[in-house]
Amino acid sequence: MNDVWSMVRGWFEDPQLRHGMSAVLIILIGFIAARVASRLVLRMFLKRLDAQQQMVSRRIVFYGIVGISFVAALREVGLDLSIFLGAAGIATIAMGFAAQTSASNIISGVFLLGERSFSVGDTIRTATVTGEVLSVDLLSVKLRTFDNLFVRVPNELLVKSEITNLSRFPIRRIDISLRIAYGEDLAHVRDVLMAVADANPRCLVDPKPFFATEDFGEFAVLLRFSTWTRREIFLETKNELQTAIQRAFRREGIEEPTQRRALEGREGAAPVLVRWEEASPEADPKEPS
């Protein structure tokens, strides 16, 4: 027993082992302090910062304290930091030439953070994808699409392309395109659409719903009906409105022109498409010859 105790005491009296244990202890304490400090910063500025700023602040505090503790641990074991700084400078130059795309993404990420076009939790639409922003990192922006897919978009691509923030403002406009037969009374159609919007509690009274005649097509009048709702219930309200409009049109006898094909051909031969025609549902269909 005395021999074991003497061996253990000899380990603690060894300067190298003592400095190594001190370095490990410094790193552990620094890691714990970084976790605690990042949470305290989040609680202190929870109401003043948005989700993106909270994430960036937590990372700066956490990795800053961890980096300081790591440097202190290296000094504790007696390593000369000037050697590492010189090697880091040479490695940085070499990596700069080898990773120009990554450097461009990092710079673009700084611009995205400074511009604040969107933040974590927003729903954005780019040229190729639409989804919720999960994080804005140094190299890329992470998105989650509506069908629950994870998409990584490089920062450089976002800086160069158009970005639409679908959740920046509290309300959104619902646009519904309609095709009405020429025989229908447009004033009556407008009254029916306005009544549908008034009956839906999710449609806002201010701004008011909007009815417009877009164009007079070859076989139908093209209309647009717009109303406003809160962005959180945009899709639900749009689906409800479309269903309610269809029911109201059936109840009021408002018909949309339907498209049918006119086929002609000789007996025993394959019919040939001659023309497209538009006709109301109540019209008698013409049998192909």
For the CA atoms of 193, 196, 201, 207, the dihedral, rounded to the nearest 10 degrees, stands at 10
Q: Residue 88 pLDDT > 70, yes or no? A: no
pLDDT bracket for residue 233 (50, 70, 90): very high
How does residue 265 score in pLDDT terms, banded at 50, 70 and 90? low
The domain containing residue 224 runs over which residues? 171-256
d(CA 189, CA 179): 11
Split at pLDDT 50, 70, 90, the class of 51 is low
Whether residue 181 sits in one domain with residue 249? yes
Task: Give the Cα-Cα-Cα angle 276, 281, 286 (nearest 5 degrees).
Answer: 55
pLDDT tens track for 267-276: 555 555 555 5
Looking up residue 119, the CATH number of its domain turns out to be 2.30.30.60
Q: Are residues 180 and 252 in the same domain?
A: yes
Coil vs helix vs strand at 131: strand
| DSSP category for residue 233 | G
End-to-end Cα distance, the chain: 111
261 bridge partner residues? 276
Residue 143 lies in a domain: yes
The dihedrals phi and psi of 89, each to the nearest 5 degrees, come to: -65, -45
pLDDT (tens digit, 9 = 90+) per residue, 119-132? Answer: 888 899 998 899 99
Decide if 104 is inside a domain: no
Residue 286 above 50 pLDDT?
Answer: no
* Residues 174-191 pLDDT 10s: 999 999 988 889 999 999
Both 245 and 178 in one domain: the answer is: yes
pTM over 0.85: no
What confidence score (pLDDT) does residue 281 get?
46
Mean of the per-residue pLDDT values for the chain? Answer: 78
Confidence (pLDDT) at 256:
78
271 occurs within a structural domain: no
Q: Answer whether residue 246 shows pLDDT above 70.
A: yes
Q: Over 90: is that where the pLDDT of 143 sits?
A: yes
Q: Which of 24-38, 62-76, 207-221 has the lowest mean pLDDT?
A: 62-76
| Mean pLDDT, residues 85-99 taken together | 57
Both tokens of residue 281?
A: 């549902």
CA distances from 225 to 119, 176, 214 (A): 32, 5, 10
147 and 183 in a single domain? The answer is no
| Nearest-angstrom CA–CA distance, 75 and 17 | 14
Distance CA 48, CA 42 (A): 10
Nearest to 158 by CA among 91, 225, 105, 96: 105
pLDDT confidence of 224, banded at 50, 70, 90?
Answer: very high
16 or 254, greater pLDDT: 254
Provide the CATH number for the domain around residue 215: 3.30.70.100
Sheet containing 210-216: which strands, arranged edge to edge? 171-180, 221-230, 210-216
Q: Name the band, by pLDDT with cuts 50, 70 and 90, for residue 36.
A: confident
Say what percent of the chain tops pLDDT 70.
70
- In a domain, residue 109? The reply is no
Length of the chain: 289
Distance from C-alpha of 154 to C-alpha of 144, rounded to nearest angstrom: 14
Mean pLDDT check: name the lowest of 45-54, 139-148, 246-255.
Answer: 45-54
Residues 60 and 128 in one domain: no
For residues 71 and 119, membership in a common domain is answered with no
At 84 the pLDDT is 59
Average pLDDT, integer, range 191-211 = 93
Q: How far apart are CA 138 and CA 117, in angstroms?
A: 16
Identify whether 285 is part of a domain.
no
Domain membership of residue 217 (yes or no) is: yes
